[in-house]
DNA sequence: TCAATCTAGTTGAGTGTTCAAGTATTCCGT
DNA sequence: ACGGAATACTTGAACACTCAACTAGATTGA
């Protein structure tokens, strides 16, 4: 397979993208860590749980919902449980399964964190972009997500040839 | 400060964005780890060094160039040095400073990793987007980067009020 | 029905990142 | 010239994530 490089324009675009991604992630992580003492990944777990009427979710659903591995969620929920923000329950319909349940303390922690986090998101992403830009960003993002999932599934055609 | 929430549309866009970011980062990290035995952050360090005619860069420049903290770069270079991919040199003009120098082995490792990585970037980002989409993504990214830097500088106006 | 296989989730070791504190050197004002 | 402040970088502990191996329960099919 001939290695096809990026054009100057593609290169510039790609770098602008990952640069923004890194800066943003670090900034949001730092903001949440400083203001709410939790990493962004934990925040997202609490958000997903809070959106459920019964405030509970299977571990696997939590994993797919937050685009993370089962192992990550398992470790994270263990930590959240130590803090009393989440509790585990056995799943009635499948005895292998576990339900992560958001506790009242967890809900309070989320409520306390949310305003600051949303303000930061607004300040760094929503407000600096026009509506068209934001929608374009979302479109491009969906295309990227689809492509990543496609690559994951069909097993990376372009793997380094051994 | 009144907490201003996100509209439905903003919410959808924001989620699409971070979802893509997470999926992409995990995929690229996994690809590089599997094919070249290095995380994406290390790859970027090697890239920056390789772009210099003398293949060397001050630690601080490496940090700003890769949007990471000095500490991160310091640890990373230490690891890369253990592998023989990078070497440290004292900086002649400032005795506090250090130069990270890409070794020949490091250059080879980068060369071996590059094709697979670029192919993955192309497959997940460049190819699935139209030229307009890619340019729009870059524009939005630059706006986000600027906003993050602005927030970092002027000290987060919207910090959780204690 | 029972073995093989698949799925849900956990665990621990290894690795990378962060945060705060540390050392060494340079810069700056007087 | 010299003391204080800023800068360059490192270090170690605490924490998060990954990968592979593992347990336990569900599913399949012969």
CA distance A2 to B115: 9
Question: Is B143 part of a structural domain of the chain?
Answer: yes
B133 contacts chain A (CB < 8 A): yes
CA neighbor of A77 nearest in space, from A44, A33, A42: A42
Judged by DSSP in three states, A61 sits in helix
ipTM confidence: 0.92
Please give the full DSSP string across B10-40, using - where no structure is assigned: HHHHHHHHHHHHHHHHHHHHHHHHHHHSS-H
Q: Containing H/E element for B77?
A: helix B70-83
Mean pLDDT of B128-149: 98
For residue B16 the two structure tokens come to 């699409």
**Do A19 and B120 make contact, defined as CB atoms within 8 angstroms?**
no
The burial of A97, by beta-carbon neighbours within 10 Å (0-12 exposed, 13-18 middle, 19 or more buried), is given as middle
A134 contacts chain B (CB < 8 A): yes
Q: What is the CATH number of the domain that holds A48?
A: 1.10.10.10
CA neighbor of B49 nearest in space, from B125, B126, B105: B105
CB neighbourhood size of B69 (10 A) = 11
For chain B, what is the mean pLDDT?
A: 93
Please enumerate, as own/partner, the contacts of B12-18 that have beta carbons within 8 Å and a separation of 24 or more.
Answer: B12/A138, B13/A134, B13/A135, B13/A137, B13/A138, B13/A141, B14/A121, B14/A125, B14/A126, B16/A137, B16/A138, B16/A141, B16/A142, B16/A145, B17/A125, B17/A137, B17/A138, B17/A141
For residue B44 the two structure tokens come to 């970027």
Question: Is B104 part of a structural domain of the chain?
Answer: yes
Residue A66 CA to chain centroid, in angstroms?
5
CA distance A99 to B20: 26
CA distance A99 to A62: 9
Question: Is A86 part of a structural domain of the chain?
Answer: yes
Question: Is A114 part of a structural domain of the chain?
Answer: yes
Question: Is A59 part of a structural domain of the chain?
Answer: yes
Task: Pick the residue from chain A with its C-alpha nearest to B160.
Answer: A116
B111 contacts chain A (CB < 8 A): no
Separation in Å: C21 C1' and B70 CA: 15
Residue A130 has pLDDT above 90, yes or no: yes
The C-alpha of A105 sits at a distance from chain B's nearest C-alpha, in angstroms, of: 19
Question: Is A89 part of a structural domain of the chain?
Answer: yes
Question: Is A39 part of a structural domain of the chain?
Answer: yes
CA neighbor of A117 nearest in space, from A18, A63, A55, A50: A50
Residue A159 has pLDDT above 50, yes or no: no
The pLDDT score that the predictor gives to residue A158 is 30
- Among A3-7, A70-74, B67-71, whose mean pLDDT is lowest? A3-7
Chain A residue numbers with beta carbons less than 8 Å from the beta carbon of B123 are 147, 151, 157-158
Mean pLDDT of B144-155: 88
C-alpha R_g of chain B: 19
pLDDT confidence band for A28 (50 / 70 / 90): very high
CA distance B117 to B33: 10
**Do A115 and B160 make contact, defined as CB atoms within 8 angstroms?**
yes
Residue A2 has pLDDT above 60, yes or no: no
Taking only the tens place, the pLDDT of each residue in B72-95 is: 999 999 999 999 999 999 999 999
pLDDT confidence band for B4 (50 / 70 / 90): confident
Separation in Å: D23 C1' and B17 CA: 37
CA distance B131 to B129: 6
CA distance A154 to B6: 36
Chain B, 5-64: which have a CB under 8 Å from a chain A CB?
A: 5-6, 9-10, 12-14, 16-17, 19-27, 31, 34-36
Question: Is A7 part of a structural domain of the chain?
Answer: no
- Provide the domain limits for residue A110: 20-151
Q: List, in sequence order, every beta strand (DSSP E) within chain B.
A: 56-58, 86-90, 98-102
Residue A156 has pLDDT above 70, yes or no: no
Task: Domain count for chain B, please give it.
Answer: 1
CA distance A50 to A107: 7
H-helix segments, chain A? 8-36, 40-51, 59-65, 70-83, 104-121, 131-153
Residue A160 has pLDDT above 60, yes or no: no
CB neighbourhood size of A89 (10 A) = 11
């Amino acid at each position: 397979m001939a290695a096809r490089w990026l054009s100057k324009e593609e290169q510039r675009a790609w770098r602008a993208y990952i640069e923004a991604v890194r800066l943003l992630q670090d900034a949001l992580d730092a903001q949440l860590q400083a203001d709410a003492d939790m990493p962004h990944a934990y925040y997202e777990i609490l958000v997903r749980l809070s959106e459920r009427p019964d405030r509970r979710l299977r571990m696997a659903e939590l994993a797919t919902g937050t685009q993370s591995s089962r192992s990550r969620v398992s470790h994270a929920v263990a930590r959240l449980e130590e803090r009393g923000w989440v509790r585990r329950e056995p799943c009635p319909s499948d005895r292998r399964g576990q339900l992560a349940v958001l506790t009242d303390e967890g809900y309070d922690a989320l409520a306390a964190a949310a305003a600051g986090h949303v303000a930061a998101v607004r300040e760094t992403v929503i407000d600096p972009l026009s509506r068209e830009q934001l929608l374009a960003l979302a479109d491009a993002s969906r295309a990227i997500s689809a492509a990543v999932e496609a690559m994951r599934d069909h097993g990376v055609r372009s793997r380094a040839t051994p």
